[in-house]
Structure 1
């Protein structure tokens, strides 16, 4: 069962203000769908956290646990960035990303998975202007981000010669 990402974001079902946590994902889904939905949830949260209306964004507040820890390192120094939505905002602004990528399931059809259990998703954020990539490991519980940490590093990219036949 493929779950449209926009539908999941639009139907967020945990009131952040009350502290009640209710997973808004189906109890059973294919692992492919879980990877896709949670990775996109992390990407959407980063996008929302760096926007102007982040303080009043109910969807953002509902997908980030208030106690979620955020950290980002570079070189030989790791830095805690804070907790909750404010911690994610600090991370999002620090990433300066203009694109992202993540790996999906590519093996045999995966077994059903509980989307509301604990999951870890790696998402790479790319700042192509500065040639910096940041791989962030997002941890989820009940469909919410409960932590994210990562490391920045430089990258080089370029074309290859055409295949000779």
Structure 2
């Protein structure tokens, strides 16, 4: 039920000389009154307006700029959707980690740079700790190159999938661990790579010294 003050406010919103009379409580408004009030409400800001209406009010130039930005963003599709077993996914991702480190260590051609761009997320964080100190190395391709240079590896190894095989999705989030060795300095770096959609999202490693020999 509308209060008298609200009715007075409605009447005040009408153009000068366009007053209306009430025939009693709850009397219906005339068509002219309803038109004026509807126009006034249309001019008022409405914070509950649907998103579709808000987008409709945006300037065409702003909408065009947003569409151009989205169109310019590189599209990265997962190329592992045809790999469906846990063993195959493990081997594919471990070998991909090795290839990325090799490409980052000596990015001498366009193919190496393309591999880094395609298989390393721009926001992927890289780190390599040693002793009691962790060392963040940056993000994206820059972080991958810093990791490769810090390890300065000349060899690698990773454990095989020695369990019962089963179904797996290579495009979902997966984790593999690879060891990179620097034989001349007797250092080994154990790095855990987290993949999602076939791309590295994170790589955290720890470097330690080692000794080896024959028996």
Using structure 2 for the length normalisation, give the TM-score: 0.63
Unaligned runs of 5+ in 1: 1-16, 161-165
Distance 2:163 2:79 in 1: 27
SS state at 2:192 partner:
strand
- 1:135 aligned partner: 190
Residue of 3, 19, 30 corresponding to 2:74: 19
In terms of fraction of residues, the more helix-rich structure is 2
Distance 2:171 2:177 in 1: 17
1:107 Cα deviation after fit: 2.4
Aligned residues: 143
Unaligned runs of 5+ in 2: 1-71
1:47 Cα deviation after fit: 0.3
1:19 Cα deviation after fit: 3.3
1:54 Cα deviation after fit: 6.5
1:116 Cα deviation after fit: 0.5
- Find out whether 1:94 has 2:150 as its counterpart: yes
Residue of 106, 110, 121 corresponding to 1:65: 121
- Find out whether 1:45 has 2:100 as its counterpart: yes
Residue of 103, 107, 112 corresponding to 2:163: 107
Q: Is the 8 A contact 1:27 1:116 kept in 2?
A: no
Deviation per CA, 1:122-143: give whole Å up to 9, x if none: 0000001011000000000000
Greater RCO, 1 or 2 (C-alpha within 8 Å, sep 6+) = 1
> Which deviates the most, 134-143 or 47-56?
47-56
Distance 2:202 2:78 in 1: 16
In terms of fraction of residues, the more strand-rich structure is 1
Which of these two proteins has the greater Rg computed from alpha carbons?
A: 2
Distance 1:83 1:40 in 2: 21
Distance 2:114 2:195 in 1: 18
Distance 2:210 2:108 in 1: 32
Displaced runs of 4 or more, over 4 A:
none
